[in-house]
Structure 1
Amino acid sequence: MAILFRFLQRQQPLDVYFFAVPHLCLNMMGFWPQNERQSIGVRCRALVHFIVLAIGVLTELHAGYAYLEKREIVLALETFCPGSTSAVTLLKMITMWCYRHDLALMLNRVKQMLCTDDDHPSMDTGCAVEKKAIIHAHAMMSSRINFWTLSMAFFTCTVYDLKPVILVLVLYVQKRYDEIHWSTPFNMTMPQCLLQAPWFPLTYIFTAYTGYVTIFMFGGSDGFYFEFCTHISSLFKALQAEILSIFRPFNDSICLSQMESLELEKHLKLIIIKHNAIIELTKFFRKRYAIITLAHFVSAGLVIAFSIFNLLIMSSNGLDAILYVAYTMAALSQLLVYCYGGTLVAQSSTELATVISLSSWQLCKPRQRQYIIMIILRSQRTVSMAVPFFSPSLPTFASILQTSGSFIALAKSFQ
């Protein structure tokens, strides 16, 4: 167990932190991106989990619409909360499978950029150490935040799965045998024969397992997004440290010699190449993840509003209150990783212009100043993870919370 969760410990190699939580989740589901052709076992594992989740989504949404037709609003919202999350997760499954080769290429490229030895022979040792520290800190942070998000979702799913058992146990202890009624963890439309002996235990296990497929799949896909953002942010930060390093020997200089100007020019060219490579890699990933990001943001506000509304309605029931507190925290965590990841990328990309403008650029010759201007102009165009209608950032996160609060206020006015 300690080996499995090494990524939660300090001072581990970068390979231990590198996409640790996404690999744990997606590999379990059979959707981890790979360059080579997946084995038959991996394909079967992915197909089985896709079928299980597809059945769960269809039966949950059907049950939710059935409750709406009966005007049982509370039960409908209680069904649509996990149902909508599962539906978006099913879309993430399809997208991750379709782009598995592209995402695998992106993984290799990110690892190559993070682990490549410094290509500046004259770079001081302090800069190399600083760059490694930046990359290590970002990798460790992403692993811990992803594990926290996954843990919140796992706790929520476990409460859902144990809720029927706990209710029956409480009624049994109180000797209220006539009120005992077994139900599935999630509201799903099932044939009546599957809700009776001897098939009910299998139905219970199946419905419970659909919840775990959902949380491990979205934990893997969302963690994949956040970890990519943190690594891109660390690459921008490392590039800033590199800029400071190449200008540091000239801080006390009055002018540069011909050899120093040529050496500086060579370093600036390499920085421009690295800068462009990071930007192109971000665009490459953003395009592949656009559908997932858009679907996530469309559903996130409604899911948060539904869960908080259910929490207000069922506040008198202790078990239901725990359930919807956990669900609200999991939904907020799931949304926060997207917004925080987008903020990390945007801020670190624009900081590059500030760093180079504070360097000793006035010592440069006109030709080197042109390269500096190119870096500044490119950095002033914020590298964002934006998709149509949404730009993942912390202000967007606050706006969604505000909108969700408006939905809750509207719903409470109809009580």
Structure 2
Amino acid sequence: MAGYFGFRFLYRNQPLSLYFYAVPRLCLNLMGFWPGPLQWRALVHFVVLAIGVATELHAGFSFARAGEITMALETFCPAGTSAVTLLKMFFMLRYRQDLLYVLTHQRQLLFQKKSLSAEKKQLMRHHSEMAARFNFWPLSAGFFTCTMYNLKPMLLAMLLYLQGRSDAIVWSTTPFNMTMPRWLLHAPYFPFTYMFIAYTGYVTIFMFGGCDAFYFEFCVHVATLFNFLQADTRGLFRPYKGLAQIRGLRSIRFEASLVQLIERHNKIFELTHFFRQRYAIITLAHFVSASMVIGFSIFDLLTVGGSGLGTLLYVGYTVAALSQLVIYCYGGTLVTESSAQLATVMSTCPWHLCLPKHRLYVYLFIMRSQRALTMAVPFFSPSLGTFAAILQTSGSIIALAKSFQS
């Protein structure tokens, strides 16, 4: 398979540095949005997608005013995703230096050679491989859906031609419903218009694939750092088993190690709060738009009837939208559960061996860990519970739509 088409991060046992933000690095580098200096590709792709969003929304409202509700919803599905992707582009550009700061500090915390034991390397490998494969799934689903949109007009034209119905072929049909000047929809410009419209779809796919994967990678690595803290917390007390109390020189060494543990804990909290603030609007907009897109896709899926190509298209779109949501929700759950587990680990350690002043540090550490770190944004917190609620609502929409059909 030629190395999984060159995607080495899909293999096991690659260098750990290769897995670090592998999918978001692939997508955002292609688009020019990888955190760091401003790249001209980013500005070009921003303008390309802005044109696509403006023309799609105009077409959608035109269909709605004409009373063509199915066509309007079919247009608003990709238009909504593209519009939110454009918003993501803006914030990725605005916070590119802040996100570079996040990347740099997270890498420093993860790859500290002095404290990177075999147990931690195995833990980081497990999380990193999982993140790479998990992030590749919504990118693949989105790429498949976009390709189906791009091939649909050509496949329909080919079927009509094979059926001897060449007169029924509409040569000005494009992959996405966009309002374009009429002269761009005829020869000799139509092939270039078609390629431009198709390309806007791939810009959307790689941008939301990179931006959403960046969020999930951050959450996975924060969970890894909390697991590192759990291992170090157990290791902190290990040399003192069998003692009646930690005193003397041992007490000084213990206090120094405990302080380092607390400082790392604080750094993880501060870094997560810093990142969460930069991603708050992106996360909120993504959940609102994805929920609407799922509703539109389900409605379209129920109204396309026996159209095999249309059914395949909307099933792919719904899977892609759900895949986007689940990586945000699962990422939030990983952060919350791993941070809360730290309190349990500390409380089960033999902290009664500590001197009174050290017990105070332990109590404060437990109290802070019990207030689990979350990826909350205004109005909700991404978690698997939130995802289950969205699925339940989607099920209600399906049941309601079917009741109207019967």
TM-score (norm 1): 0.94
| In 2: Cα distance, 1:382 partner to 1:315 partner | 47
Offset at residue 89 of structure 1 (A): 0.1
Secondary structure in 2 matching 1:118: helix
**Counterparts of 2:353 and 2:283, CA distance in 1:** 45
Q: CA deviation at 1:111?
A: 0.5
Alignment correspondent of 1:66: 62
- Of 221, 224, 233, the match for 2:211: 221
Matched, 1:5 2:7: yes
**SS at 1:289's partner residue?**
helix
1:19 pairs, out of 3, 6, 21, with 21
User: How many angstroms apart in 1 are the aligned matches of 2:125 and 2:43?
Assistant: 35
Q: Which moved more, 1:73-82 or 1:398-407?
A: 398-407
* Residue 316 of structure 1, CA deviation: 0.7
Which of 307, 310, 333 is matched with 2:300 structurally?
Answer: 310
Given candidates 94, 97, 101, the residue that maps to 2:93 is 97
One-letter amino acid matched to 2:129: M
Aligned residue in 2 for 1:379? 369
* Mapping of residues 110-149 of structure 1, within 5 Å: 110-118=106-114, 128-149=117-138
Equivalences for residues 16-415 of structure 1 within 5 A: 16-34=18-36, 37-38=37-38, 42-43=39-40, 45-118=41-114, 128-182=117-171, 183-412=173-402
> Which consecutive unaligned segments of at least 5 residues does structure 2 have?
none
Q: Does the 8 Å CA contact 2:9/2:132 hold for their aligned counterparts?
A: yes
| Structure 1 residue 251 displacement after superposition | 3.4
Shift of residue 149, structure 1, vs aligned partner:
1.4
Structure 2 Cα separation of the partners of residues 312 and 102 of structure 1? 44
Cα distance in 2, alignment partners of residues 47 and 135 from structure 1: 35
Question: Which residue number in structure 2 is paired with residue 124 of structure 1?
Answer: none
Provide the C-alpha distance between the structure 2 equivalents of 1:172 and 1:388, rounded to a whole number of angstroms: 53
Q: 1:195, 1:405 → 2: CA distance? A: 40
Shift of 1:157: 0.5
Secondary structure in 1 matching 2:117: helix
In 2, the alpha carbon distance for the partners of 1:382 and 1:300 equals 27
CA contact (8 A) 1:153 1:330 kept: yes
Contact 1:85–1:299 (CA<8 Å) still a contact in 2?
yes
1:346-387 deviation digits (Å, cap 9, x = unpaired): 000000000010111111111111111111011011111110
Q: Which amino acid aligns with 1:326?
A: G
1:269-290 C-alpha deviation (Å, 9 max, x unpaired): 1100000000000000000111
Deviations 1:34-66 (A, max 9, x none): 1xx44xxx22x1111111100110111111111
Q: Which residue identity does 1:187 align to in structure 2?
A: N
Kept after mapping to 1: 8 A contact 2:138/2:320: yes
Unaligned runs of 5+ in 1: 120-126
What CA distance in whole angstroms lies between the structure 1 residues aligned with 2:213 and 2:246? Answer: 47
Q: Deviations over 1:164-221 (max 9, x none)?
A: 1111111111111222123100011111111111111111111100000000000010
Q: Give the RMSD, CA atoms, in angstroms.
A: 1.5
Q: Secondary structure at the match of 1:389?
A: coil
Q: Which moved more, 1:364-373 or 1:251-260?
A: 251-260
Q: Does the CA-based 8 Å contact 2:33-2:92 persist in structure 1? A: yes
Find the aligned partners of 2:391 and 2:247 in 1 and give their Cα distance: 57
In terms of mean alpha carbon deviation, does 299-308 or 216-225 score higher?
299-308
